[in-house]
Amino acid sequence: MNEDSALDSLVKAIAKLPGLGPRSARRISLQLLTNKESVMDPLIRALTHAKEQMKICHSCGNLDVNDPCYICTSERRDNTQMCVLADVASLWAVERTKIFKGRYHILGGVLSALDGIGPEDLKIGHLVERIHTQQPAEIILALSATVDGQATAHYLMDRIEELPYDIKITRLAHGVPIGGELDYLDEGTIVTAIQSRSAV
Amino acid sequence: MNEDSALDSLVKAIAKLPGLGPRSARRISLQLLTNKESVMDPLIRALTHAKEQMKICHSCGNLDVNDPCYICTSERRDNTQMCVLADVASLWAVERTKIFKGRYHILGGVLSALDGIGPEDLKIGHLVERIHTQQPAEIILALSATVDGQATAHYLMDRIEELPYDIKITRLAHGVPIGGELDYLDEGTIVTAIQSRSAV
Asked if residue B97 has pLDDT above 80, the reply is: yes
Contact B47 A19 (CB under 8 A): no
Question: DSSP states of B72-138 as a string?
Answer: HH-TTSEEEEEEEESSHHHHHHHHHHT---EEEEE-SS--BTTTTB-GGGTTHHHHHHHHHHH--SE
Q: Give the ipTM of the model, two decimals please.
A: 0.73
Asked if residue B145 has pLDDT above 70, the reply is: yes
Asked if residue B1 has pLDDT above 70, the reply is: no
Give yes or no for a contact between B95 and B83, defined as CB atoms under 8 angstroms apart. Answer: no
Contact B95 A1 (CB under 8 A): yes
Closest-CA residue to B47 (of A1, A18, A19, A36): A36
Contact B34 A27 (CB under 8 A): no
Contact A50 B29 (CB under 8 A): yes
Give yes or no for a contact between B1 and A104, defined as CB atoms under 8 angstroms apart. Answer: no
Asked if residue B184 has pLDDT above 60, the reply is: yes
Q: Which residues of B touch A4 (CB under 8 A)?
A: 53-54, 63-65
Per-residue model confidence as pLDDT tens digits over A168-180: 999 888 888 887 7
Say which residue, B179 or A59, is predicted with more confidence: A59
Q: Which residues of A touch B36 (CB under 8 A)?
A: 51
Per-residue model confidence as pLDDT tens digits over A79-101: 999 999 999 988 988 888 888 99
Rounded Cα gap, residues B167 and B117, in angstroms: 26
Asked if residue B125 has pLDDT above 60, the reply is: yes
Asked if residue B2 has pLDDT above 50, the reply is: no
Q: How confident is the prediction along chain A (200 residues), in pLDDT tens digits per residue?
A: 444 688 999 999 999 999 999 989 999 999 999 899 999 999 999 999 999 999 999 999 999 999 999 999 999 999 999 999 999 988 988 888 888 999 999 999 999 999 999 999 999 999 999 999 999 999 999 998 889 999 999 999 999 999 999 999 998 888 888 877 777 778 888 888 787 887 77
Rounded Cα gap, residues B177 and A123, in angstroms: 52
Which residue type sits at A15? Answer: A
Query: Which pLDDT does position A1 carry in this prediction?
Result: 44
Contact B53 A4 (CB under 8 A): yes
B68-92 mean pLDDT: 93
Rounded Cα gap, residues A153 and A148, in angstroms: 9
Query: Which pLDDT does position A2 carry in this prediction?
Result: 45
B65-85 mean pLDDT: 94
Q: Name all domains of chain A by residue range, CATH numbers in brackets.
A: 6-53 (1.10.8.420), 75-199 (3.40.1360.10)
Question: In angstroms, what separates the C-alpha of A50 from chain B's closest C-alpha?
Answer: 5
Beta-bridge partner residues of B171: B141
Closest-CA residue to B170 (of B100, B113, B66, B90): B100
Give yes or no for a contact between A67 and A94, defined as CB atoms under 8 angstroms apart. Answer: no
**Residue B136 burial (10 A CB sphere; 0-12, 13-18, 19+):** buried
Q: CA-CA distances (angstroms) from residue B134 to A50, A126, B39, B70, B103?
A: 49, 70, 46, 17, 10
B122-149 mean pLDDT: 93
Query: Which pLDDT does position A74 carry in this prediction?
Result: 95
Cβ neighbours of A25 (radius 10 Å): 19
Confidence of residue B4 (pLDDT cuts 50, 70, 90): low
B24-47 mean pLDDT: 93
The dihedral formed by the CA atoms of B171, B173, B179 and B183, expressed in degrees to the nearest 10? 120
Contact A30 B4 (CB under 8 A): no
Asked if residue B137 has pLDDT above 50, the reply is: yes
Question: In angstroms, what separates the C-alpha of A49 from chain B's closest C-alpha?
Answer: 6
pTM value > 0.95: no
Question: In angstroms, what separates the C-alpha of A112 from chain B's closest C-alpha?
Answer: 19
Which residue type sits at B11? Answer: V
- Percentage of chain B modeled with pLDDT above 70: 98
- Which of A33, A45, A54 has the CB atom closest to B33's CB atom? A54
Would you give the distance in Å from CA B40 to the centre of its chain? 28
**Residue A89 burial (10 A CB sphere; 0-12, 13-18, 19+):** middle
Confidence of residue B180 (pLDDT cuts 50, 70, 90): confident
